[in-house]
Amino acid sequence: MAKDKPGALEVKTFADHHVITQPNPLQSVLRHVAEKDLDDPVARAEKALASLSGEFKNWMGIEADRLSAAHAAILKNGFTKLAREELFRAAHDIKGDAATFGYPSAGTAAESLCRIIEHAPDLDEVPSELIAHHINAIQAIVRERTKLDTVSTASELSWRLRGVADEYLTRANRDRPEHLEAILAPSIAPGE
Amino acid sequence: MFRIDFNKLRFLVCDDNPHMRRILRTLLHSFGAREVYESEDGATALEMYSHYVPDIVITDWSMPIFDGLELAQMIRQPESKGNPYAPIIMLTGHSEKRRVTVARDAGVTEFLAKPISAKGLYQRILNVVANPRPFIKTKTYFGPDRRRNTSNTYIGPERRVGGEVEILQQPSLLDKARSTV
């Protein structure tokens, strides 16, 4: 850590709150450079990320298998609290990682699964096929990615699943306005 | 134009997913950072936060037992012996408006929705380094000033009484979360 020593806090007190400021402790790490500075840290990082891309297929396979294992545990023991959390985390990780790994359609299907887990009033009442189709779709998208004709199929599959899931969730939450609002709200994720 | 000397910054990265930690480490190192400490859960991250005193925390939200939201709340304890002011960047797969608000109210400084991009991460770091926000302490909140713009059309209740504060104009956290940069 090579920053300025923490500056004295300046506290302004008002009726029901305090405003606290201090000299920027990270000021010394800022460096002014000319506009034509050729060093581009973002380009450097993108290049480094691209150099990792050889690992992405394997990583995506691991993530998809983790999801399938979580689903298998539920088929065996039902929706226990732990099993539900593990299924959600596995799907949530794919939702967040899949586009980076080059599998955006898997991310779409995983997001749809997350929404089911988060917003279904009772997971035991959700048609088991609906969850199974999401798991199987993600596995298929990951395993069959190398086939040239699968990109559009994967996209269509994942968005159709999302449509079916949304239809179910909208119906199941018709008396739960908070969930309904969340289901119908647009995503803030970039690119959507 | 400003650049950051990343080699002078110490980062704490908290994410239960080893692949995402590897990506974050790769990005931060290629930015120039040398000190990147990693944790796979919130409890360990809190210990490392006290031990290593990082300049910037980058945390996932969804983790087992002790998640990123709780980590932010634990760091933002005004009476704690540690540094409650460090910038916290929430990097998460959650992509609902409600989540941004919850993260903001837990004291998170910046919100970055996955999928991650080098540009998005760099911009968040640049912003917390170059534009630190004043902190607000109330009975129910301690963290970066949540007001990012002034509005003549605001019709909700005034949550602060007794004085006007200069607003550090920035896009709202939600608007920034919607953008990759």
Complex ipTM value: 0.89
- The answer to whether residue B92 neighbours chain A at the CB level (below 8 Å) is yes
Asked whether residue B1 is assigned to any structural domain, the reply reads no
Domain spans in chain A, listed from the N-terminal domain onward: 55-184
Closest CB to A17: pick one of B1, B129, B160: B160
Q: Which residue is listed with tokens 């040398």?
A: B34
Phi, psi (degrees; rounded to nearest 5) at B57: -110, 130
Each residue's pLDDT tens digit in chain A (192 positions)?
Answer: 545 555 688 999 988 899 999 899 999 999 888 878 778 999 999 999 999 999 999 999 999 999 999 999 999 999 999 999 999 999 999 999 999 999 999 999 999 999 999 999 999 999 999 999 999 999 999 998 765 456 788 889 999 999 999 999 999 999 999 999 999 988 776 543
Asked whether residue B14 is assigned to any structural domain, the reply reads yes
pTM of the model: 0.89
The confidence score (pLDDT) of residue B169 equals 66
Phi, psi (degrees; rounded to nearest 5) at B17: -95, 115
Strands B56-59 and B88-92: parallel
Residue B136, token pair as written in the block: 């607000």
The confidence score (pLDDT) of residue A1 equals 58
Asked whether residue B152 is assigned to any structural domain, the reply reads yes
Please tell me the total count of domains within chain B: 1
The confidence score (pLDDT) of residue B101 equals 92
- The answer to whether residue A99 neighbours chain B at the CB level (below 8 Å) is yes
Residue B47 sits in a domain whose CATH number is 3.40.50.2300
Q: What is the CA radius of gyration of chain A?
A: 23
Q: What residue in B sits closest to A101 (Cα-Cα)?
A: B115
Residue A92, token pair as written in the block: 């949530």
Q: Say yes or no for a CB contact (<8 Å) between B27 and A45.
A: yes
- The answer to whether residue A148 neighbours chain B at the CB level (below 8 Å) is no
Segments in chain B below pLDDT 70: 149-152, 154-170, 173-174, 176-181
The confidence score (pLDDT) of residue A192 equals 35
Pick the CATH number of A55-184 from 2.60.120, 1.10.3680, 1.20.120, 1.25.40: 1.20.120
Asked whether residue B162 is assigned to any structural domain, the reply reads yes
Which residues numbered 161-180 in B keep a CB inside 8 Å of some CB on A? Answer: 161-163, 165, 174, 177-180
Name the residue range of residue B149's domain: 6-177
Asked if residues A123 and A84 have their Cβ atoms less than 8 Å apart, the reply is yes
DSSP code at position A123: G
The confidence score (pLDDT) of residue B49 equals 96
Closest CB to B27: pick one of A30, A49, A182: A49
Closest CB to B113: pick one of A17, A25, A188: A188
